[in-house]
A = this chain, B = another copy of it.
């Protein structure tokens, strides 16, 4: 991928990857063990299929996630974080902490199993 860098700033460059309303939510779901398309769909935010499809492809392209053959459903693929993707953990935590502290109505234990 040849994304043109806006600047050498690590914040700007990181935002070029996770600077949208959906990417990090998928990373969050993967972080909590979700791996199938449907599981990401089941998250309470309600991502559209085309957006999810696009973001999964980008996550793989960027090396943050990888496809692997699902064991639960033979013949199907699933997704999981690579080490590069997992290293976003502190970012996720900092964001979650800020939200919990500054936005009322937020709470942990959001990830109830969709079904």
Complex Cα gap A94–B48 (Å)? 28
Known: A14-B103, A25-B12, A103-B10. A90 touches B84 (CB 8 A): no
Interface residues of A in 29-69 (CB under 8 A from B): 43-46
Q: Is the CB of B92 within 8 A of A11?
A: yes
Which residue of B is nearest A103, CB measured? B13
B11, B92, B94, B99: the one within 8 Å of A99 (CB) = B11
A7: CB under 8 A from chain B? yes
B9, B46, B108: the one within 8 Å of A10 (CB) = B108
Complex Cα gap A13–B103 (Å)? 7
Contacts of A98 in B (CB 8 A): 10, 14, 87-88, 90-91
